[in-house]
A and B are shown apart, each in its own frame.
Chain A
């Protein structure tokens, strides 16, 4: 239950940390760190989100049930992302035995998605 009144000081501390994190994420983005750039940006975003949810939204002081309700949306978002990516990341892993289809895929799939065409695999 959120009837518990949180001290004002905590809100200011959280706000200050959010601002520091904003500065850090902006700063990190100025350097070329390869893949680590996205990783850092997303990690910091998640930390910021957790701070807002736990303190501003009082979840830290709330019942277990609230934790479940708050988590459910994110869990389901993860289900969607994981399974949809299971399609996009594995396109072309298994090639149809049908020669016509395979040829079609070689011609079209490699050029349709994106800037970096994949190497076509040799037919068995």
Chain B
């Protein structure tokens, strides 16, 4: 009796400091080399950039509510869509999942204490911020009107806006991408826990490895392309200038050699997240593990050989167009393999519809739609018809918003308890997921229709017969905005008031769930040993447990 009073019960979670409580000064955040903190730094930064680009989108949608250009001038509209494109692509989508969730999770998933080069990881964030702020400055002092693609000779000679500064911002953030990719590749190769062979890795790691391959091999090409563009603008002459015998199409070749694979930088990490969510909430081992793993690698490699499909009407030779068209169809195969495997994982699983799962299911649907309309665009003849229309706009938003953003939200919700140690309100989460899904479809589905009917992209005024689709789209965007705002509110609320989460609130497999939430500074008290395959879920056991609980 007095024994129980004498011995205080030690709270195991509080024995070691977690990564959040390890330091509270600004310095401890800005000079951190902890991959978890860097992940959070990235999280705050990309949400900041997302908000800016979202405001630009909102103004554009408002302008498009009525056929005449009555809210903003055409020149302003040009700057708005450039801003939206540049910020969303380079300062939100590309770093979204890899730099936030990837940074946070990859070392934990493979049982390492940190990434291979923690200082480079921090440098990556600083380069990213330097680039982002430079781009922001370019916007504040007057903006850029070239579109996010910076096609020459408009960007290099004729545009009267701040293209050089903007390109320099992207150039810097490109080096941030390269450092991240390099870090991930080496981390996966060298830092795996004992027993964690390649085929025991979570698919999250496989997908991120494939992403890193693209980051490392494609981004330098963007760097040199933008560098040449900048030199051409500053120096007044160069290899893309038709007046000197240069060929602007060469710029497009080099640009899309990066920018097409960049689409896979955005989608592969989303696939990584979804491959974790689906088995967890189906309580089932993932179907066709090796197929999904190799499909990731195949997408990464094939993604490099299809860039010409962005240039079918640019003056590229028709022969090359045919080659690129065929190659583009081939990329659909590994993407299809993944969708089939996720669906097969659901089959006879013990499915529950928590918030992350809703996002994941939404992802599968929207990604399929986005991917299948991609096949239309890969077909030469159809592409000529819909080039530079809203059909294209809708297609890539289905991939980038319907795919990447939904997976990002799903991932944030799934790992939120791990990141913060708190649960968010489940019902609100489900509501937000639903609102996002509905808002998204209402925004972008009408754009398929009006694009096919001939509504061109990048115009601030349009023919009156398209108004109904634009009104629907703007209405949808409003709902979508609510869907984005809700999580921000309740996730912030949960930081203080959320229910404390245990180490493993979802009953998920994976090394990251075997350490307390929030994780200690060095992730694991001792290096874990891995003896089995990943995704060791069993639906039968789950059902039996549910029946027992019921009885």
Contacts and interface: CB of A to CB of B under 8 A. Distances in A.
A86 B217 contact: no
Interface in B160-195: 189
Contact of B318 (A72, A79, A94): A94
Interface in A78-124: 79-80, 83-84, 86-88, 90-94, 96, 112-114
A73 B182 CA distance: 13
Interface string B62-88: 000000000000000000000000000
Contacts of A79: 304-305
Interface residues of B, number: 21
Contacts of B221: 80
Given A80-B257, A93-B319, A94-B319, A87 B242 contact: no
Given A79-B304, A84-B253, A86-B323, A92 B317 contact: yes
B304 A76 contact: yes
A9 B306 CA distance: 47
Interface string B236-276: 00000010010101100100010000000000000000000
B305 A91 contact: no
Contacts of B482: none
Contacts of B410: none
B446 interface: no
B310 to A, nearest CB: 12
Contacts of A113: 245, 247
A65 B245 CA distance: 43
Interface in B276-311: 304-305, 307-308
Interface string B501-536: 000000000000000000000000000000000000
B320 interface: yes
A96 B313 CA distance: 11
Contact of B308 (A73, A87, A93): A87
Given A83-B323, A86-B320, A90-B319, A73 B217 contact: yes
A88 B254 CA distance: 13
A55 to B, nearest CB: 25
A114 to B, nearest CB: 8
Contacts of B324: 83
B381 to A, nearest CB: 12
Contacts of A96: 318
Interface string A65-81: 10000001100100110
Contacts of B318: 90, 93-94, 96
Interface in B201-229: 217, 221
Contacts of B189: 65
A100 to B, nearest CB: 15
A90 B317 contact: yes
B317 A87 contact: yes
A22 to B, nearest CB: 28
Given A79-B305, A94-B318, A72 B323 contact: no
11 contacts: A65-B189, A73-B217, A80-B221, A80-B257, A84-B250, A86-B319, A87-B316, A91-B317, A94-B317, A113-B245, A113-B247
Interface of A: 65, 72-73, 76, 79-80, 83-84, 86-88, 90-94, 96, 112-114
Given A83-B308, A87-B249, A88-B317, 15 more contacts: A65-B189, A80-B221, A80-B257, A83-B320, A83-B323, A84-B250, A84-B253, A86-B319, A86-B320, A86-B323, A87-B319, A90-B317, A90-B318, A90-B319, A112-B245
